Structure 1
Amino acid sequence: MGRVCRLAKGGLFLVLLSICACGDSVSEAPTGTEVAATESTTSITPVDFPNSSFFNSSSSLWAPQSSSSSQAQQGFSSPQIQPTSSSLWNSQTSSSSVKNIPLPNNGIPYVRITAADSIDTGYVACSIEIAGNGQYESIAPASAKIRQRGNSTRLWYDKKPYRIKLDNKTSILGLPANKDWVLLANYRDQSKFMNAIAFDMARYMGSFPFVNANRFVEVEINGDYMGMYQLTEQIERATSRVDIDTSGLLLCLDMDDGPELSPDAGNNFYSKVYGMPVAVKYPKNISAERLEAIAADFATLEQAIVSADYDNVQKLIDMESFIDFILLQEITRNVELEAPRSMYLYRDNTGKYHMGPVWDFDGGFGYGWDEDTKEYFTSQSWILGTGNPSKSPYNCTAESKNDWGMCNGTNMRFNSYDGRAVPGFFANMFANETFLAVYKARWESLKTGILDDAFTKLDAYVLQTAIALENDATRWPPIRRYDVEIQSLKAWLTERIDKYSRVLAQY
């Protein structure tokens, strides 16, 4: 079982001490398929930001003053500074003057973006420059396009996530060359590392050929400091990403990208058996006839799952990735499985489907969906069942099947937790005893090491990003300190792993 580090409340110095006391010193976790990075390291020192005195060494960020009692109780070590006090947030700096200012080094790479226009949902031209800061090779200013990305994360929050498309394929931060990159804001997540820890658990499982990288960077746009972001790959067909040939398919089960919200798109459909919204990510620009052929092929897999026919299903889908995909959604309590949203799968040139890449865990980890509190860790209920043998897919008996012989509720969905439902696509196979036995055996092989590995990497991320985390917290004042939230994240996951082992042992 993973250990729970109790990170000290208070200043940055105490945070660093608690990290060192909780675990061994570790290097940065390997992420994704990478090319060689530079091996030198650079000391972490605060550096002036463009046209702003906010981050000067004399600033309160580097010399914390006494805080109010309420802030002290939450672990704040420095006073909150209003955005209007700094031209960093209300920059009048011209693009030409910004380009000539050295990029800061706060221990992680620094990304400077200079856009020709304001950035919205449509692409605008920009230049992007990256300082590797001793960890990776720096990138000289390069031409690109940028836009906002995401759904709720874009619409609800001021700290926007971004999609970047370079003019030329470029290796960024040790990752294979490509044009398409993503900057995740992780604004709702007060710990800043939930997506990263989910990616790392997927990587530990070993059944997903491609898992997104975790590269933490500070970002500046047109002279405005935007905080700490997670730079990672765009999920797409590419040799170093979803490696399929021209006969392959890349699909996404996504209510926000399916016929419901994108009725005029020519690349989506409702699946024939489960009625799930399916978006075709590859191939592009398909004909109506090709779309129908893809829907029919996918229906063959759905029908095998409906029948809970293990022998047939394992011929159509890679069983290891299918099981690990379900396990990861359950470990993280990712309620996006119910919609579904951002659930990727692909078909390779052999005609076999594979689940993944995994993506989007903002709605996981027991999120309470209260945008005022942005509170996670509110529930330990199960995505695929309540733990009641008469209702749980882990024990799909003859008595619990419906008139179609399936272990689910109405509309091909399994009624599970809190009155909600998950598509039977992810639940019906539990009616098969062979599948259940393989699923339980897989969990037994994972449960001991998966959190130890994830927590070791998490400790390394926190140590590496210590200054950037404080900068981000000052730019976007959090409801709860990241160190307190990380402690809660570790405790919640440790409890969940233990409870899940006991639940599965019942069946």
Structure 2
Amino acid sequence: MKQWLVFLVATLALLLVGCEVETAWSAHEEEFNRIRELLPQQYSTNLSLPESSREDVFVVYSIDGVMVEDNRLLYTNPDVDTTIELTLSITHANQVRQYTIDIIEVSEANRDLNVVFDIIFDTIDAKIPSRVTANLAVPQVYSVDADIDYLIDCTDIVRNRIVYTFPDQNETCSLTAIVTYDGVTRMQVFTVTMSGISSLPQIPTVYITTENNDDIWSKDIYTKATMSVDYHGMYDGDAITNAGIQIRLRGNSTMFMPKRPYKIKFDEKTAFFADYKEYDWTLLSNHADQSLVRNASAFWMADQLGMAFVPNYTFVDVYINDEYQGNYLVSDHVEVTNDRVDIEEHSANIDTGYLIEYDYKIFDYPEGTYNSFLVDNIPFSLKSPDWDEDVYSNAQKTYIDNYMTNLLDTLQNQEDYSDLIDEASFIDWFIVNEIFKNVDVGYSSVYYYKDAGEKLKMGPVWDFDLSSGVPGYLHERGPTGWYTPNWNKNRFFHYLMQYPEFQSALKERWNEVKDTAIDGVLDQIFVFADHMTYSRHKNFLLYSVIGNEDEWWTAPEILAIDTYDGQLWFLYDYLETRIAWLDTEINNFD
């Protein structure tokens, strides 16, 4: 019994000693791991070494057996990068343990490189958003002449844009930046969080409920309804809640496409995504345009050019009787008002305000359907003055008919047109329509207006869904070649382009706005698309047309593209090529 007690006491003593040693070594390891995390891999200036974090732990640094004084590693400016073996002597509970860490003392040349790479990587880091909610252009660094390539592990990078993949949940991705500067290549990995689809921002939503859930079936007869708008924090506008409206179909060929466009008439003047109030508005469907952004992009360009009236361009989601209809563009109705085409109206004078449309559609209707006239067989419809007004007279139609006839005769004869047209407005209208190669420039939606006592002007621009390579029925749909000034398209511009003074003015204006309004539209395409990522996703779930819709309006080049991103890049490439072609041709004018 006595021997057993002696053995037990001895065993307990050994265990206690072992615990003390293990505790000491644990403290050493913790302190070393802490210091190792704090020390940089390299240094290019004097470096203060970490102090001990505990009163009962002592740390001494040395290099080749020589203690580092004041825990300060002095930078010696070596000719080449030098690896320093730093020894740490850590003491705790009278137990000393040594560790080594390799740290690089950077040469002066590489020190300058480090500064440059730090700038580059810091700039990249600052440009990466906390969440990716749309396709994202990879960060570019313009302050340093470096080559930067990227790799990402969760999606593709197509033409320097990270492709958003609509994950169900947030997805963490690693974005690797590979930077080459002055012959040196370094890499850094950044964390990118791709937002789950349910947390994507939403564009404003328009809810329309028809009376008795009636169908909207006519272009001529309105259906009574109410409208409410949820801005989703994306637009700071007046509240629209159960507003009384009337709604009908609009458009011509577009009216028979799967996604139909609408005309809205509010019971009271309403600011419908605008800073002015009007009764009449439109919901453009953009069905034939599988990028959805052609109309908005053309309107944006006109806005940048400073045209007198530019139609509104706000993307919304539309529900009718609780059924999703798709992505639409809220826009104006082309008419004479103080906030739209601002000219004199409601006057019995002959020289009053006039709004007319170059409009071959009138031949599709019985004679007398539209108030119209012909100028050398070119059909025009008279929008204002309105022939239903008491002040209207046939003498007013005769006046504007004679004015347009005189203009065409003047241009045909190459006579002075300066007293007849506002050349600047004609040039801006021409720039937008010719860049987009708008199929309608010699058919319809070509507006002219003239105020009392003033010259004839052009505008607003309108109707670009069948433009820039979309129309399959158009043989000359490619991005090169003149379009608007062809004799069989728009004869007014056909003759204007034969004037050296018009060519000179066009050249001057083109070069004035080339770097801003013209080239800027290329980036604006993606601004519009990225703004409505969730909406366009829903739209093409409802209308599975991309790569599938083989209709009369779909060019083979459009049909061959089976992704939305591909449709955007088609538009980008088309406009880029067309702008370059026009730039060469216009600057070749004498």
Q: Tell me if TM exceeds 0.5.
A: yes
Deviations 1:132-177 (A, max 9, x none): 221223311111100010011112x111000000010011224310
Match of 2:526 in 1: 459
Distance 1:266 1:158 in 2: 27
Within 5 A, what are the aligned runs for 1:33-432? Answer: 63=168, 106-116=201-211, 117-121=214-218, 122-134=221-233, 135-137=235-237, 138-155=239-256, 157-206=257-306, 208-246=307-345, 247-256=352-361, 258-259=362-363, 261-271=365-375, 274-285=376-387, 286-309=392-415, 312-338=416-442, 340-369=443-472, 379-384=478-483, 414-415=486-487, 421-432=488-499
Contact 1:185 1:229 in 2 (8 A): yes
Code of the residue aligned with 2:578 in structure 1: it is: R
Contact 1:214 1:232 in 2 (8 A): yes
CA distance 1:468–1:191, shift in 2 (3 Å): same
Deviation at 1:235, TM superposition (A): 0.8
- Aligned alpha-carbon RMSD (Å): 2.8
Code of the residue aligned with 1:473 in structure 2: it is: F
Q: Which deviates further from its counterpart, 321-330 or 184-193?
A: 321-330
Code of the residue aligned with 2:365 in structure 1: it is: L
Distance 1:456 1:23 in 2: 17
User: Gapped runs of 5+ residues in structure 2?
Assistant: 1-130, 143-164, 170-198, 346-351, 547-561
> Paired residue for 1:437, among 498, 501, 504?
504
Deviation at 1:464, TM superposition (A): 1.8
Deviation at 1:422, TM superposition (A): 1.8
Deviations 1:424-470 (A, max 9, x none): 21110222222221122222222222244323433332222111111
Q: State the SS of the aligned residue for 2:462.
A: coil
Q: State the SS of the aligned residue for 1:431.
A: coil
Deviation at 1:378, TM superposition (A): 5.4
CA distance 1:23–1:368, shift in 2 (3 Å): farther
CA distance 1:436–1:241, shift in 2 (3 Å): same
Pair 1:497 & 2:579 matched: yes
Q: State the SS of the aligned residue for 1:315.
A: coil
Code of the residue aligned with 1:302 in structure 2: it is: L
CA distance 1:432–1:452, shift in 2 (3 Å): closer
Distance 2:293 2:358 in 1: 24
Distance 1:318 1:493 in 2: 27
Pair 1:450 & 2:532 matched: no
Pair 1:483 & 2:559 matched: no
Contact 1:113 1:127 in 2 (8 A): yes
CA distance 1:167–1:19, shift in 2 (3 Å): farther
Code of the residue aligned with 1:193 in structure 2: it is: V
Deviations 1:272-303 (A, max 9, x none): xx421101111111444432232112222222
CA distance 1:492–1:15, shift in 2 (3 Å): farther
Distance 1:159 1:23 in 2: 42
Q: State the SS of the aligned residue for 2:242.
A: strand
Deviations 1:304-359 (A, max 9, x none): 222222xx422111100111212222111112123x21000100122311100000
Distance 1:15 1:460 in 2: 13
Contact 1:184 1:230 in 2 (8 A): yes
Code of the residue aligned with 2:405 in structure 1: it is: A
Contact 1:192 1:482 in 2 (8 A): no
Contact 1:383 1:422 in 2 (8 A): no
Pair 1:18 & 2:132 matched: no
Code of the residue aligned with 2:305 in structure 1: it is: M
Structure with more contact order per residue of length (Cα contacts < 8 Å, sep ≥ 6)? 1
- TM-score (normalised: structure 2): 0.60
Deviation at 1:194, TM superposition (A): 0.4
Q: State the SS of the aligned residue for 1:175.
A: coil
* Greater per-residue strand proportion: 2
Code of the residue aligned with 2:359 in structure 1: it is: D
Deviation at 1:203, TM superposition (A): 1.3
- The number of residue pairs the alignment matches comes to 378
Distance 1:354 1:378 in 2: 27
Distance 2:288 2:167 in 1: 25
CA distance 1:477–1:108, shift in 2 (3 Å): same
Deviation at 1:260, TM superposition (A): 5.2
- Percent identity over the alignment is 29
Distance 1:465 1:444 in 2: 32
Distance 2:534 2:476 in 1: 26
- TM-score (normalised: structure 1): 0.69
CA distance 1:228–1:323, shift in 2 (3 Å): same
Contact 2:480 2:581 in 1 (8 A): no
Match of 2:33 in 1: none
Q: Which deviates further from its counterpart, 194-203 or 496-505?
A: 496-505
Deviation at 1:255, TM superposition (A): 0.7
Contact 2:298 2:464 in 1 (8 A): yes
Q: State the SS of the aligned residue for 1:427.
A: helix
Deviation at 1:113, TM superposition (A): 0.3
Distance 1:17 1:281 in 2: 43
Higher Cα Rg: structure 1 or 2? 2
Deviation at 1:493, TM superposition (A): 0.8
Deviation at 1:254, TM superposition (A): 1.1
User: Gapped runs of 5+ residues in structure 1?
Assistant: 1-12, 25-59, 65-103, 386-392, 394-413, 416-420
Q: Which deviates further from its counterpart, 426-435 or 376-385?
A: 376-385
Q: State the SS of the aligned residue for 2:417.
A: helix
Deviations 1:162-214 (A, max 9, x none): 000001001122431011010000011010000111111111122x2100111
CA distance 1:448–1:61, shift in 2 (3 Å): closer
Contact 2:480 2:578 in 1 (8 A): no
Distance 1:351 1:229 in 2: 36
Q: State the SS of the aligned residue for 1:195.
A: helix
